[in-house]
């Protein structure tokens, strides 16, 4: 969607980049010329594979372990990234977890875990990179939300709340930094072929399919292509948007 070397000389941090949408997004940005920080929390081997794929695109890349829900770990990760790259120009807030259950039986731990990783992690990482973007007067912040943040889902009040809040975060921050040539957008994927979808039962998949007008699940590249577009100069006038990539599910 964008020029192959549209991001040459830029530095990107992709959280939760060891697999799935995060890996695909990191590789897409690398293919466009960006050097990549591959964040992971619990999958070091998979993260190193993402690093290999990024380096195969001819850029520099390294893996950085951090729980994005821990501000101290986020700071350490950014210190490492700054030492290696000097600054972060593009942030993809992709790291997220689920801990499903009906609200009547949801524990404090399940609520806190999801909100802390998905919402607080987005805040901690964005705050950590924002100052250098403002100083450089250029930046791209791309949040990975979810279709359930738009339409809700039974058994996912915590996840839905975290993703809906990211939409509001996007609207407000986009206004704060618009004059500094920094764009802030959120992509809301529908059901994408990842480990999470693979774990669903056939009955669950059949039910979900009735919600999707295109009658199929998406691929990680469908999201990565949008990440690449939003990071590129082609999207320089696009900010404060929540963009659905979901086969029509949010209609």
Tell me whether residue 250 is in a domain. no
Tell me whether residue 49 is in a domain. yes
Tell me whether residue 96 is in a domain. yes
Tell me whether residue 247 is in a domain. no
pLDDT value for 4: 57
**CA gap 160, 140 in Å, rounded:** 24
Task: Tell how far CA 155 is from the center of its chain.
Answer: 22
Tell me whether residue 251 is in a domain. no
Successive 10-residue mean pLDDT values, the chain, 251 residues = 73 98 98 98 97 98 98 98 97 97 98 98 98 97 97 96 98 98 98 87 92 95 98 97 97 91
Tell me whether residue 245 is in a domain. no
Tell me whether residue 205 is in a domain. no
Outline where the chain has alpha helix (H). Answer: 20-31, 44-55, 71-85, 108-114, 121-136, 148-151, 157-177, 195-198, 202-209, 220-231
Torsion sign over Cα 8, 10, 16, 22? negative
Domain enclosing residue 136, as ranges: 11-192+220-239
Count of residues in the chain: 251
Residue 216 DSSP SS3: coil
Q: Which residues are catalytic?
A: 159
For residue 76, give the CATH number of its domain. Answer: 3.40.50.720
Place of tokens 């695909």: 24
pLDDT value for 3: 45
Tell me whether residue 59 is in a domain. yes
- Specify the number of domains making up the chain: 1
């Amino acid at each position: 969607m964008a020029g192959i070397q549209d991001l040459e000389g830029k530095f990107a941090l992709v959280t939760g980049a060891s697999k799935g949408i995060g890996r695909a997004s990191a590789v897409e940005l690398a293919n466009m010329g960006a050097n990549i920080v591959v964040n992971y929390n619990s999958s070091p081997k998979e993260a190193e594979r993402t690093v290999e794929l990024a380096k195969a695109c001819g850029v520099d890349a390294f893996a950085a372990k951090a729980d994005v829900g821990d501000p101290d770990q986020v700071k350490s990760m950014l210190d490492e990234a700054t030492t290696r790259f000097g600054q972060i120009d593009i942030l993809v807030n992709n790291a997220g977890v689920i801990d499903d259950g009906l609200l009547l039986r949801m524990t404090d731990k399940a609520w806190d875990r999801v909100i802390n990783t998905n919402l607080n992690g987005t805040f901690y990482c964005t705050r950590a990179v924002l100052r250098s973007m403002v100083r450089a007067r250029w930046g791209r912040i791309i949040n990975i939300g979810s279709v359930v943040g738009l339409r809700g889902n039974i058994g996912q009040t915590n996840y839905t709340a975290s993703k809906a809040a990211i939409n509001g975060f996007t609207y407000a921050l986009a206004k704060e930094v618009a004059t500094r040539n920094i764009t802030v957008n959120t992509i809301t994927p529908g059901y994408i072929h990842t480990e999470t979808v693979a774990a669903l039962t056939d009955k669950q998949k059949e039910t979900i399919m009735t919600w999707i007008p295109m009658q199929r699940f998406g691929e990680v590249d469908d999201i990565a292509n949008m990440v690449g577009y939003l990071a590129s100069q082609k999207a320089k006038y696009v900010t404060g948007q929540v963009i659905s990539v979901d086969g029509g599910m949010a209609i």
